[in-house]
Amino acid sequence: MTKSFPGVLANEKVNLTVQQGEVHALLGENGAGKSTLVKMIYGILRADSGEIRWQGNVVDIHSPAFARSLGIAMVFQHFSLFDSLTVFENIVLGMDVRDTSNLRDEIGEISTRYGLPLDPDRHVYTLSVGERQRIEIIRCLLQHPKLLVMDEPTSVLTPQEVEKLFETLQRLSSEGMSILYISHKLDEIKALCQRATILRGGKVVDCVDIESETASSLATKMMGEELAASSPKQPNTHGELRLEVNDLNLDAEDEFGIPLRHIQLQAKAGEILGIAGVAGNGQDELLSAISGESVSGDNASVVINGLESGKLGPNQRRMLGLASIPEERLGHGAVPGMTLESNGFLTAFRRLGLLSHGFIQSRASRDFAKTVIDRFDVKANGEQATASSLSGGNLQKFIVGREISQNPELLVVSQPTWGVDAGAAQTIHEALRDLATNGTAVVVISQDTDELMKISDRLGAICGGVVSPFYPTSSLGIEQVGLLMAGASIDASVSGDAHVV
């Protein structure tokens, strides 16, 4: 199958076969073409050429409804749920049958059988991400599918939730259901799948039996080269205190937000402090409380470089040496329709003096944007390219570069490599590491636990707007990070009686 978009060949002559009852992995880096392929299988996109055979017959899957009628169901990476509707209404919307009289009973039956507890009358916006995923799965199972497609299902789950999901999936596969499991996480695939088709740059690289592969041989096929060994961590001589958050409390702006409660953290010059957590647990709120986008009533709750600044705005905090990078690139970290020159000016104008008596110094702004583009190898059509025309990875390099080039003494960054290709992720990790080595305190908020295990010196987690204590990363295993992400205390887990919520 081949599919092209303007400027990209997303899938080139891709072959994929899934047997009955197998858990088949579709493995590849971000941007390898996995999502495009499954969207064609589910009838959301149509192939430019190629064919799909279903149980031996050529089929033209022209719509998701038709895919469902064949017995194909899909759980999306970004859930297709409706926040303001109830769980039950969401399930009804995903069903093609019109008779909903027995639906409630069926939902109850499936949720007990596969260990997916849910209250059908709750509104979706009140649910956690894991619970939302359950809706999607139940919605699929109600149609008794023969093939279940799961697009990166674990990227939003805690390790414990992942374990539960795997139990459900193994149970389904033992009942004869085929599962197409899309991921770039090798350990998951090792644990769950029998075979894997590996995509790279829109082409199939190989189709392998998982049994006969090791994690590193899979990684090599996925990345195309041996993973550059991550540079050994420098032992950090932690310097002076750059950021102190003391008992920070911040009410949510509305029902959809998360209130922050009793946040306590410190970041010192030269270290990378990691904050793990599942999406939607207050990461955005924490970042804006530190960056100054949300102002706290208590001036002492945020101390930057020794100065109480809880009531200061973003630019006053920047002048104290703070730089911040929000999760959302387009629309938050950068203005989509503006040029890179303007987007460079956006946060640098005060610290770098790009302003004179209220007038924009355009020569200096242009030079600054050019410097960032050169130094961080941003692939863009010059500094006059609009932010929205850049790929995610290049825009992120520009944003990270913009903040680092201002020589901050403290950098707070959320999801630095989310949705970014491997090359850009590497560049960004190195840049953060270098920054810390040169004496900046770096706080990284991320959902990617692997990333945090790799780059952070000390690690904690945020759950429900509460931040855990921090521990040296080297002393933590993935299991314990999972407990932190679930809001449990790991001081207790040593004695073995931890209660996972």
Partner 1 sequence: MDILIASLLTIITAATPLVYASIGEMITEKSGVLNLGVEGMMLLGAVCGFATVHFTGSEALAIGAGMAAGAGLSFIFAILVLGFQSSQVATGLALTIFGIGLSALLGQELVGIAYDGLPKLAIPLLSEIPVLGPLLFNHDILVYGSIVLVVFVVWFLNHTRSGLILRAVGNSHDAAHAIGYPVLRIRFLAILFGGAMSGLAGAYLSLAYSPLWIENMSAGRGWIALALVVFATWRPWRVMIGAYLFGGITILQLHMQAQGVGVPSQVMSMLPYIATIVVLVLISRDRSKIKLNAPACIGKPFHPTS
Partner 2 sequence: MRQFQEMPMLFKLIKRPEPSKSMVFLSPVIALILTLLSGVILFQLLGVDPMEALYAFFIEPLTSRYGWGELGVKATPLILIAVALSIGFRAGVWNIGAEGQLTLGAICGGGIALLFYDVEAFWVLPLMIVAGIAGGMLWAGIPALLRTRFNANEILTSLMLTYVATLLLSLLVHGPWRDPDGFNFPESRIFNDAATLPVILEGTRLHMGWIFALALVVGAWVLMSRTIIGFQVKVVGEAPAAARYAGFSVNKVIWLALMLSGGAAGLAGLVEVSGPIGQLLPTISPGYGFTAIIVAFVGRLHPVGVLFAGLLLALSYLGGESAQISMNLPLAVTGVFQGLLLFFLLASDVLIQYQLVRRSSPSAVTQ
285-304 footprint of partner 2 as x/- string (CB under 8 A): ---x--xxx-----------
Does 98 engage in binding with partner 1 (CB under 8 A)?
yes
Instruction: Find tokens 């989509």 and name the residue.
Output: 336
Please tell me the distance from the alpha carbon of residue 38 to that of residue 181, in angstroms, as a whole number: 10
Annotate 303-327 with DSSP letters as a single string. EETTEE-TT--HHHHHHTTEEEE-S
Among 2, 4, 80, 388, binds partner 1 (CB under 8 A): 80
Binding to partner 1 in span 238-267, by CB under 8 A: 253-256
Q: Is the Cβ of residue 279 or residue 346 nearer to partner 2 in the bound state?
A: 346
The answer to whether residue 45 forms part of the interface with partner 2 (CB under 8 A) is yes
Q: CA separation (Å) from 395 to 34, 218, 371, 421?
A: 22, 29, 15, 12
* Residue 31 binds to partner 1 (criterion: CB under 8 A): no
Residue type present at position 460:
G
Report the C-alpha gap between 224 and 109 in whole angstroms: 45
Task: Pick from 389, 419, 426, 439 the residue near partner 2 by CB under 8 A.
Answer: 389
Alpha-helical runs (H) found in 17-70 = 34-41, 64-70
First to last CA, the chain: 44
Interacting stretch for partner 1, rule CB under 8 A, among 15-23, 25-33, 75-83, 156-164? 75-83
Q: Looking at 8, 16, 44, 355, which residue binds partner 1 (CB under 8 A)?
A: 44
Q: Residue 443 phi/psi, 5° resolution?
A: -115, 120
Non-local (6+) Cβ contacts of 416 within 8 A are 325, 396, 400, 428, 429, 432, 444, 446, 451
One residue of 60, 82, 375, 474 binding partner 1 per CB under 8 A: 82
26-28-34-35 Cα dihedral, nearest 10 degrees: 110
- Residue 324 is a binding residue for partner 2 (CB under 8 A): yes
Burial 185-204 (b: 16+ CB within 10 A, else e): bbebbbebbbbbbbbbebeb
Residue 487: CB minimum distance to partner 1, A? 25
Question: Which of the listed partners (partner 2, partner 1, none) does 207 bind, with a CB threshold of 5 to 8 Å by partner kind?
Answer: none
Of 13, 62, 171, 379, which lies in the binding site for partner 2, with binding defined by CB under 8 A? 62
Cα distance between residue 491 and residue 31, in whole Å: 40
Q: Which is nearer to partner 2, 50 or 469 (CB)?
A: 50
**Is residue 81 a contact point for partner 1 (CB under 8 A)?**
yes
Residue 377: both structure tokens together: 């190898």
Kindly indicate which of the ranges 27-35, 275-283, 309-317, 473-481 contains the residues binding partner 2, using the contact rule CB under 8 A.
309-317
Contact positions vs partner 1 (CB under 8 A): 39, 43-45, 63-65, 68, 76, 78-85, 89, 92-94, 98, 253-256
Contact positions vs partner 2 (CB under 8 A): 6-7, 44-51, 58, 60, 62-63, 288, 291-293, 313-316, 318, 324, 326, 328, 330-338, 342, 345-347, 349-350, 355, 358-360, 381, 385-386, 389
